[in-house]
Chain A
Amino acid sequence: MPILSFLALPQDGGMEQLCNDLSAMEYCEIIPAENQEVIVLVTDTPDVEAEKNLQKSLKNLPSLQSLSMTFGHNAEQ
């Protein structure tokens, strides 16, 4: 049941799209910066399977340019 946080950078001009995409995904919460094209993404998944699926979905997100992890916690470890 990991909790992770990331800095998510959108493709050029794609801030709004990325916000929409991430907001629509299960287990994701976002905090968009108000003066930069940067989003704080926090993921909180219930199990390993959900975590794997989420990571896969994130990797395939066309509006996402890069994802940098800033925090990680796994309750099962």
Chain B
Amino acid sequence: MKLNRRSFIKSAAVSSAVATAGSIFPGISFADWKRVKGAYGITWKKAPCRFCGTGCGVLVGVTNNRAVAVKGDPNCSVNKGLCCVKGYHSVQALYGRDRLKKAQIRKNGKMVEVPIAEALDVIAAKLKETVKKHGKDSVAMYGSGQWTIPDGYVASKLFKGCLGTNNVEANARLCMASAVTGFMTSFGIDEPMGCYEDIEHADVFITWGNNMAEMHPVLFSRMLASRKRKKDVTIIDLATRTTRTSQAADRSILFKPNTDLAVANAICYEIIRNGWMDKDFVKKHTTFHKGKTNIGYGTEDHFKFKDKPENMSFAEYKNFLEDYTPEKAERISGVSARDIKYMASLYGDPTKKVTSFWCMGMNQHVRGTWINNLVYNIHLLTGKISTPGNSPFSLTGQPSACGTVREVGTLTHKLPYGVVMKEKARKKAEKIWDLPAGSIDPKPTYHTVEMFRALDRGDIRFMWIQVTNPMITMPNLNRYRNGALKDDRFIVVSDVYPTPTTDVADVILPASMWIEQEGMYGNSERRTQHFDEIVPGPGDTMSDTWQIIEVARRLGFKKQFPWSQKNYIGKIWEEYRRFHDNPKHNMAPYEVLKARSGVQWPFVNGKETRWRFNSKYDPACKKGSDFDFYGKKDGKAWIWARPYEPAAESPDQEYNFWLNTGRVIEHWHSGSMTRRIPILHNAVPESYVELNPEDAANLGVVNGELVKIISRRGSITMKASINGRGVPPKGMVFVPFFDEDYKINEVTLDAFCPISKQPDYKKCAVRLEKA
């Protein structure tokens, strides 16, 4: 950064004045700073933050082609000028010393640098050869909720369209699949009906297994600000361990792992018993259903499950809930009947607007789809849905889990519009992609866990991994790493830093990171956020989108990938928009996206839709209706009878502790980027195991002493944290997964929700030893 002394002093002078103004005039905003002539050599450009699914708008300060500063974008309604610690330091992640700048190919067991064109040639040749030798379903693409929308779109077009294999998955399977199947089974259409504005309207917030204070800190601060401003706001933290969220909540209620199913049913029982059900709403807008039970856990290869929904009457549903009186649910969950009744009274109070928030706690769950259904049940029974402040709100973990994975459809069964099993959806894709009829296979292949099992078995021989680090994040990791390392497997990894996943690669492609490329993300509230290429990438780095285009052209698909490097993102966006050309999902034009700090879909007649399914706000609703759950043919949402079933593996005499895993505020996912930001790395330099103080005393360990965590799959030794920022209940330990030196997923179990196929990272059995 070249900034002369005088410019630097002027910057300090400005900062001082802005800070003073901020303390005298709360909420004051100096958005025009970026437009001030000669603003000390720094220009400010908008982008969405890339370090979670909230979608905070940031302004990136650039000088001499280098990103040097970040501030919250006051024009972005998501964060209104705020950022969290990761956001403020985000640009430093671009400039780690060991940034991958050159392509590498494994030659005689060693990775050697090569020109990127040579690496792309090798990838194309290997893809072709593998398909020829082993068939089209022997090659796979594994992407990410951190893929930009164009990244995912071209990946789907190449693999599903041109190569004809549905072997496309993304790591959002590991974080959001249960949310998708929850939406699909309850409403027939994906993604939240509400938006973040619900936070300012709600009187009650219930966080279901969701440590928002650390995982969605900016939204959590909006909640706290609303409580301060309105006075009569209540926050309930319903969780399996005590966290910073519990500390800030009005009440912290702990439940035993997996028993949120029983708690949710008991709340529904209480709502009906007390006459708090909105009978008119339920009669007009819902129907009752049940599905299969004892549905398994998917721990075996080739596991198959298909639910069989059946209609049921309200009386039958009421009868089903008899198993979940608050007293019975207390015995299952450990939550007192009093607390269950209290929560039911909050949901049931017609004068209170209630928003439920959840994320990984409900989604990384062997009954993830069910618990999503059950929380929707509560909101549907009380009619507290699709109106400002009344919102069952599934938050996302990644910046474009919604935009790229759920909307573009980068999962094995999905297409940008509809699913591969439907002829209409295939035909639409084949038409837009200019492919012969029948190019797209009507059968889904492998969901993520099964895809890595297929790689281990040898059913898949070639895998291209972009923008994700599965050799840290796959559960039961030892099996999948050993599978990737087998001799006749060919792994391509596109990334920005060396990781345990690049360690298993045969080819490494240096990728552009975040604002080194143009792109779009889609956040939790249906908001699409465009960003320009703001700074150049180093060395031979290339956007993931362009890498795929280059390989596609080498494979002979020039007609499908005709764009110029100058304007390909705009062209791709306009092609992609054709898939969503209807009032239920219309996306904003490219020029609108470029101009604004995010635009919500459905974008109809130049207007964003804040609350879906409510005719006051949503133009897709049937005329004359008040609410229209148009994802279902009859316009009615489904209330599901889903029972409590235990976790795949619970503590027993031999393995007597629950293991729960997750994140910390300072680090993003596997830490490959945030651990290269000095201030974040120094704040939390290594992972640790949280223990309950009583368990620690029984084990004879104090803070910082080593504990060995052993499961049926692996073991790990790490330092104890006692009474730290999180405190698990007796019988549970918690480990953050960001640290590649402590691969906790060698210990976790690859059980998943049979409907969503999303693994449960929150529950398996371990035993502890003082190391």
A→B interface (CB under 8 Å): 3-7, 29-36, 38, 40-42, 44, 68, 70-71, 73
Give Cα A35 to B81, complex, Å: 13
B13 near A3: Cβ-Cβ < 8 Å: yes
Known contacts being A70-B16, A70-B20, is A35 close to B29, with CB within 8 Å?
Answer: yes
Instruction: State whether A33 touches B25 (Cβ < 8 A).
Output: yes
Q: Please judge, given known A-B contacts A7-B17, A40-B18, A71-B17, whether A29 and B36 are in contact too, CB under 8 Å.
A: yes
The one of B16, B36, B38 that contacts A5, using a Cβ cutoff of 8 Å: B16
Per CB-CB distance, the 5 closest pairs between chain A and chain B, nearest first, are A5-B13, A71-B16, A5-B17, A40-B17, A71-B13
Residue pairs across A and B with Cβ atoms less than 8 A apart, 19 shown, are: A3-B9, A7-B21, A30-B36, A31-B32, A31-B39, A32-B30, A32-B32, A33-B28, A33-B29, A34-B31, A35-B27, A35-B29, A36-B21, A36-B25, A38-B21, A38-B25, A70-B16, A70-B20, A71-B16
- Tell me the nearest residue of chain A to B37, going by C-beta: A29
- Shortest beta-carbon distance from A50 to chain B in Å: 15
Given contacts A34-B29, A34-B30, contact A44 B14 (CB under 8 A): no
Residues of A within 8 A of B36 (CB): 29-31
Q: Which residue of A lies closest to B27 (CB)?
A: A35
Any A CB within 8 A of the CB of B87: no
- A53 CB to nearest chain B CB (Å): 20
B10 at the interface (CB under 8 A from A): yes
Residues of A within 8 A of B13 (CB): 3-5, 42, 70-71, 73
Closest to A4 in B: B13
Which A-chain residue is minimally distant from B13 (CB atoms)? A5
Bound together, the chains give a CA A10 to CA B25 distance in angstroms of: 15
A36 to B229, CA, bound (A): 20
Question: Is B392 an interface position by the 8 A CB rule?
Answer: no
- Other-chain contact of B38, A29, A32, A68 (Cβ < 8 Å): A29
List CB contacts (< 8 Å) of B18-62 with chain A: 18-21, 24-25, 27-33, 36-39
Beta-carbon contact of B6 and A44 below 8 Å: yes
B25: chain A residues at CB < 8 Å are 33, 36, 38
A7–B19 Cα distance when bound, in Å, is 11
Contacts of A38 in B (CB 8 A): 21, 25, 28
Given the complex, which residues of B lie within 8 Å of A42, measured CB to CB?
10, 13-14, 17
Q: Is the CB of A7 within 8 A of B24?
A: yes
Given known contacts A31-B30, A34-B30, A7 and B20 CB-to-CB distance under 8 angstroms:
yes
Query: Within 8 Å CB of B21, what residues of A?
Result: 7, 33, 36, 38, 40
Instruction: Give the docked Cα–Cα distance between A30 and B32 (Å).
Output: 10
- CA of A48 to CA of B571, assembled, Å: 57
Residue B12 is within 8 A (CB to CB) of chain A in the complex:
yes
Which of A5, A68, A73 lies in contact with B14, CB distance below 8 A?
A: A5
B74 in contact (CB, < 8 A): yes
Known contacts A29-B36, A31-B33, A33-B28; A44/B10 CB under 8 A: yes
Give every chain B residue within 8 A of A71 (Cβ-Cβ): 12-13, 16-17
Pair A34/B74 contact, Cβ less than 8 Å: yes
Compute how far the CA of A77 lies from the CA of B191 in the bound complex, rounded to whole angstroms. 61
Measured in the bound complex, the distance between the Cα atoms of B19 and A35 in whole Å is 15
* Residues in A neighbouring B39, C-beta threshold 8 A: 31
User: By the criterion CB–CB under 8 Å, are B10 and A3 in contact?
Assistant: yes
Could you tell me which residues of chain B, from 84 to 99, have a CB within 8 Å of some CB in chain A? none
Which residue from chain A places its CB closest to the CB of B18 in the assembled complex?
A: A40
* A42, B38: Cα distance in complex, Å: 12
- Chain B nearest CB from A20 CB (Å) reads 14
**Which residues of A have CB within 8 Å of B17?**
5-7, 31, 40-42, 70-71
The smallest beta-carbon distance between B288 and chain A, in angstroms, is: 49
CA gap between A34 and B32 in the complex, in Å: 7
Bound CA–CA A33/B22 (angstroms): 10
Q: Residues of B contacting A7 with CB < 8 Å? A: 17, 20-21, 24
- Chain B residue nearest to A40 in the complex (CB): B17
A68 to chain B, nearest CB (A): 8
Find chain B residues with CB under 8 A from A40 CB: 14, 17-18, 21, 30
Given A36-B29, A44-B10, 10 extra CB contacts under 8 A: A31-B17, A34-B74, A35-B27, A36-B28, A40-B17, A40-B18, A40-B30, A42-B10, A70-B17, A73-B12
